[in-house]
Structure 1
Amino acid sequence: MSNNATDGAPLAASPLTRAVLEIDEYASGLGWDRPARLFALVDTAQLRTQEPGLADQLGLTETNETGSLTPIEQDELPSGTALDEFLATIAWPEAIAGCALTVERLMLPPAAEAAIPEGLDDASLATWVAAHPQRQEVRMTVAVLRDGARESAVRLRAKDTPTEVLTGSDLVPGLAEALSATFEV
């Protein structure tokens, strides 16, 4: 991902933030209404050394900075399986430095959340939220490293530009926890 002054994308300080923004930009290019996507994060220098053919295929050059992370998209997530159940089945090999997931959801502002009727099952709650006039469609990209580092990017469909992407380490803590658990032995 380029971060020059002409593309409007925010500058990212850490390799993990850069990886999250790269994945967000990739997902943005695919458009909305897409299934969740899972990525392995690998150390770019190690990838160039250990898998030079793959590094060439991905367009990774020696000019990539030290410590950078390369996201590698994994197979499509199985349909019909809850995301938390699917993530509980993953165990990454040692060569994988981290992982990331991008997923779209509907969210409500805090005032609207207070009005959620009690006793709704998951399907009824999803229907209620989908019909709410204050709902916001969001794409969340969450990444974690094996060492515990976290980063997230959140993009509102209503403000779908690179300059409107919110980043932070604790924006989606539940999903970050679920991704971190894929590294526990």
Structure 2
Amino acid sequence: MTSNESPSAAHFALARAVVELEEHVSTRGWDGPTSVFALVRTADALANDPSLAQLLPTQVVQDAQQDPQLLMSIEQDGLPEAVDLEDLLAQLAWPAEVDGAALSVERSVLPPQAEQAAGAISDDDERLAFLANHPEREDVRMVVGVLRGGESWCALRMRSHDEPTQVVQGSDLVPGLVAALKATLV
């Protein structure tokens, strides 16, 4: 989406789903594992399996009748073993019935000068201790969602500003993660 375009209904639905996922994941507290979610249009899921309506809150079923773009998130259990996030994403592929994907991941960020100083430390354990205890370290939870149509939405929460009103949102706040997640939908 360019700055001159209005967001589509699908983009609004994705933003809503990502915000709801961020709120859900935040209830688990910090230092959690990476979580991956399939995103499916609720109306399509209900059309394919009407008995699903018995499992969903009444309001969700009503919302899906009003908004065909409404997404439901399905957390994926039993993720494949992976050495890192890049390796995990490289192993994911989604069937055509899945309209999008989302993930939640936590990372620590440091100012560039601290990263440079860490790079100069040759001992791995010493470098990790330096990074973990640096006073300017900031823990960030990133929830990123993408749709097959190319839409993306991100929600970022800092541990130092751990309030729902302090969550930063936007289409492309974590471009590398957005691109990697989009690649799982091909």
The answer (yes or no) to whether the contact 1:107–1:129 under 8 Å persists in 2 is no
Deviation above 2 Å: which 4+ runs of structure 1?
Answer: 51-56, 62-65, 76-81, 109-129
What does residue 39 of structure 2 align with? 41
Where does the alignment leave 5 or more consecutive residues of structure 1 unmatched?
Answer: 1-12
CA displacement at 1:77 relative to structure 2: 3.2
Q: Say which SS state the counterpart of residue 17 (structure 2) adopts.
A: helix
Select 2:92's aligned residue among 90, 93, 110.
Answer: 90
CA deviation profile, 1:12-36 (whole Å, cap 9, x unmatched): x811110100000000111111101
Residue 85 to residue 98, structure 1, CA distance change in 2 (3 Å): same
In structure 1, what is the Cα distance between the partners aligned to 2:94 and 2:46?
20
Q: Say which SS state the counterpart of residue 25 (structure 1) adopts.
A: helix
What does residue 129 of structure 1 align with? 131
Matched positions, count: 172
TM-score by length of 2: 0.82
- For 1:1-185, list aligned pairs within 5 A: 14-59=12-57, 60-64=60-64, 65-66=66-67, 67-78=69-80, 81-110=83-112, 112-113=114-115, 115-118=117-120, 126-184=128-186
Identity level (%):
46
Moved more, 166-175 or 60-69: 60-69
Where does the alignment leave 5 or more consecutive residues of structure 2 unmatched?
Answer: 1-10
The answer (yes or no) to whether the contact 1:37–1:76 under 8 Å persists in 2 is no
Residue 78 to residue 97, structure 1, CA distance change in 2 (3 Å): same
Comparing both structures, which one devotes a greater share of its residues to helix? 2
CA displacement at 1:173 relative to structure 2: 1.0
CA displacement at 1:115 relative to structure 2: 4.5
CA displacement at 1:68 relative to structure 2: 1.0
The answer (yes or no) to whether the contact 2:63–2:70 under 8 Å persists in 1 is no
Considering only aligned residues, what root-mean-square deviation do their CA atoms show, in Å?
2.3
Instruction: State the structure with more CA Rg.
Output: 2
In structure 2, what is the Cα distance between the partners aligned to 1:175 and 1:69?
20
